[in-house]
Structures are given as C-alpha cells and as structure tokens.
C-alpha cells in the first residue's frame, strides 16, 4: 500500500450546506429556520438561550439581590479567633466579652462574636461570657481556675403553616 492509493471511506466527508444565498440555492429566504418564533431569532443559542426555563420565571430573577440580603452563606457573622496564649494579657478574674477583647486589640471592630482556640497555654483565671470554644480550650480554661459560658447555636425554627379557617 502506498500513500497515493489511500482514499476516504464512502460518506465520511459531506459538503457544507450553504444557507442564506438566495432562493435559487434551495435554502434562501428563511434559511431552514421556519417562520417567526424563538427558534428563528438570532442569539437564541442552543435551545432557547441561557436561563430559559420553558416559560417559568428564570432562576436569576427569582432570587433576591445579594446586596443587603442577610444569609449565613452570603454574609456570615464575623467571628474573632483568639488563641489561649494571647489571653494572658488580661488581668485575672475579669469577665471576658467581645468588648473586653477589643480593648486589648484581640478582636476587630467588625467582629460580632469570638471563639477561643486551644493553641498556647493560659496562666490566668478568666470568666468568659457568651463564647465559642474548642474542647481543648474549655479544658485548659477550667484547669486554670476560670469559667466559661458556651454560646450554643440555636436551631432554625420552622414557620407554622397557615391553615385556612372558615
């Protein structure tokens, strides 16, 4: 076999069908797209265009704007992470809140809650109010003679369905 004897298999190569070149070409006027309607419009893309859901309101129009919309995933609560070793600056016996942490530059102004991490060693006994903490941090605080009031995450309450009363 030599290269000059190689041919393409029958039906593997089709001529391109040129459309929109007048009535004499056999595919002029509507160019095979039919009369009017979404399937005839330019820019419809694959199917009926991006976001089309069969006449149902599109997803991006059903959702609220993100700006100012409070959702835990979109706009989460800022939590200051404080290591145990950093807390030795605060005097013993102090009731620690987010405001106290701000005065000692352990939390930023924008932080709304705080969480104590078990990194480092605490030597002073402190009383923590409304705190989140790791298990190792809770053990270390109790061993140092302090107390901690854990802030529990409340489960979301489901709204009761309204029943039609007659």
- Cβ partners under 8 Å of residue 35, min gap 6: none
Query: Which structure tokens are listed for 159?
Result: 């709204």
Is 86 inside a domain boundary? yes
Is 155 inside a domain boundary? no
Rg (C-alpha) for the chain, rounded Å, is 34
What does the alpha-carbon distance between residue 165 and residue 13 come to, in Å, rounded to a whole number? Answer: 71
Structural domain boundaries enclosing 41: 27-63
First-to-final CA distance of the chain? 91
What is the percent of the chain with per-residue pLDDT over 90, rounded to a whole number?
A: 40
Structural domain total, the chain: 2
Give CA angle at 22 (20, 24), nearest 5°: 125
Q: Which residue has the higher pLDDT, 52 or 6?
A: 6
pLDDT confidence tier of residue 159, bands split at 50, 70 and 90: low
Is 126 inside a domain boundary? yes
- 146 and 83, same structural domain? yes
Which pLDDT belongs to residue 40? 82
pLDDT confidence tier of residue 166, bands split at 50, 70 and 90: low
Q: How many residues belong to the chain? A: 166
63-121 pLDDT per residue, tens: 877 665 556 666 677 889 999 999 999 999 999 999 999 999 999 988 888 999 999 99
């Amino acid at each position: 076999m030599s290269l000059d004897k190689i041919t393409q298999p029958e039906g593997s190569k089709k001529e391109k069908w040129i459309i929109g070149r007048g009535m004499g070409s056999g595919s002029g006027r509507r160019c095979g797209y039919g009369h009017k309607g979404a399937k005839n419009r330019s820019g419809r893309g694959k199917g009926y265009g991006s976001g089309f859901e069969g006449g149902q309101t599109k997803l991006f129009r059903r959702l609220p704007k993100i700006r100012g919309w409070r959702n835990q995933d979109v706009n989460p609560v800022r939590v200051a992470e404080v290591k145990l070793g950093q807390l030795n600056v605060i005097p013993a016996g102090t009731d620690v809140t987010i405001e106290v942490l701000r005065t000692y530059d352990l939390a930023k102004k924008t932080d709304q809650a705080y969480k104590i991490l078990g990194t480092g060693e605490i030597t002073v006994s402190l009383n923590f109010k409304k705190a989140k903490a790791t298990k190792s941090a809770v053990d270390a605080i109790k061993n140092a003679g302090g107390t901690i009031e854990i802030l529990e995450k409340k489960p979301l309450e489901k709204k009761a369905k309204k029943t039609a009363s007659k």
